Structure 1
Amino acid sequence: MAHLLAKLGEAAIKWQRTQSGVWRKPAISAKNLARLRRETLLEGGEWPYEKPVVETKRRKPKGHKHDREKPQREAAIQKKLEVVDERIAEYRKSQHEAMREASLMDRVLLTPKQIRLKAKGG
């Protein structure tokens, strides 16, 4: 095996594609290549066919969606809180408006809910 590796070099350990597009196995199997590498390293030699180590980039974890969208959600809540007092006053005014416009007979005979329904046209 060692003489085949010395003779063919890196071509003995790589898959090769022929002219017709067919892939051919390496001349030395991965098992035998590992054995040769181990023997060479144990003898104190250097293995010239070492694969380059690819540095992988660590990504920041994506996290949970509710955590990512929390600032937008809080901004929307804060924006709505600015106009909440006006909206409450407007709602209360609309509720009491029906009572003020009702006739005396309606106020005496009908419940507040019935008066509001009558004012809506229901």
Structure 2
Amino acid sequence: MAGKAAAATVAKVAAEYPWREKLTKYKTELTKGVWGYWDLGAWKPLALSARKRARLRKEVLLAGEDWPYDPPRGEMRNKRKGHKCDRISAEKRANTAELMKKMPQMLLDYKKRRWEKKMKQEDGKS
């Protein structure tokens, strides 16, 4: 009697979650990789097709379960797109704007240095 109840429960779970059977069936295959694996120097594709793998993954994720068989994601690409000359010219324009803000003080410093140099030369002559 208990065996029938357990069998009925297993059948109910299997009917409710058909992906669980597939997941246990293909567990070893899924752990080998996403596309295939190297075996003794030869590339072997998975026994599970990509379409079936994707469908199984979708069913598992829709049921709210975790899917640990995806490969780790690489870092995002941070290289800028566009032409380097455009980027450099924009940086130069920004640098020029900063320098133009400092220009009055730079001119005063230059005039002061020049005046000090002139005074040293006059002191040296006399």
Q: TM-score, normalised by structure 1?
A: 0.43
- Structure possessing the higher radius of gyration over alpha carbons: 1
Q: TM-score, normalised by structure 2?
A: 0.42
Structure 1 or 2: larger helix share?
A: 2
